[in-house]
Homo-oligomer: A and B are copies of this chain.
Amino acid sequence: MTLEPNSFAKRSTIEQVEEGNELAPKFDAAGLIPVVCTDYKTGELLMHGYMNEEAFRKSMETGEAHYYSRSRKQLWHKGATSGLVQKIKEFRIDDDQDCVWIRVEVLSTGASCHVGYRSCFYRAVPVGQELSSAKKFSDIKLEYLESEKVFDPKEVYGDAPNPTIL
């Protein structure tokens, strides 16, 4: 199954984009569209990434999540190294078609975070009354919601550079 690159419908009117059934995604100035990735069964947010046109196309063609890695500046077939492939069970697009939601089943251990946790969002930030006496953001302590890592990143990724940018 192959699709012709960049063969999207042209974005002509707000009504077409919001209320129509044509696929007319908007990639940003860097050629990217944000992607929200949740677990198909639990609804948990696993990760947030970006697709360029090629990653978007490969994801649709193969049914496996492909992203564009901004740190490595290349197409990224999620799970190619780790085995943590994300099978896309549902692919949605939002009202103005500038964001994608994929609901996935993760193979192997089911984790999606390079640090070793199941979800990238393993820490909570106190909010409202939970802030108690904090006066500065730097007074705040994050709370861990996952107590144990699912896998050891060193075993899985070896000496590959960490993708986090300070």
A contact set with B: CB distance below 8 Å: 1-4, 6-9, 11-14, 17-23, 26, 34, 36, 38, 42-45, 47-48, 57, 59-63, 88, 90-96, 99-101, 113-115, 117, 120-129, 131, 134-138, 140-145, 162-166
Total copies of this chain within the assembly: 2
Q: A34-B48, A45-B101, A95-B120 are in contact. List 16 more A-B contacts (CB 8 A).
A: A8-B137, A9-B138, A12-B166, A18-B115, A21-B142, A23-B125, A23-B140, A36-B36, A45-B92, A47-B94, A90-B127, A91-B125, A92-B125, A93-B123, A94-B120, A99-B121
> DSSP class of A's interface residues: helix, strand, loop or mixed?
loop
Minimum Cβ distance to chain B for residue A72 (Å): 14
A to B CB contacts below 8 Å, 24 in the list: A4-B135, A7-B138, A8-B137, A11-B166, A18-B164, A22-B138, A22-B140, A26-B165, A34-B48, A38-B38, A38-B45, A45-B101, A59-B127, A60-B127, A61-B131, A91-B124, A91-B126, A92-B122, A92-B145, A95-B114, A96-B163, A96-B165, A99-B121, A101-B121
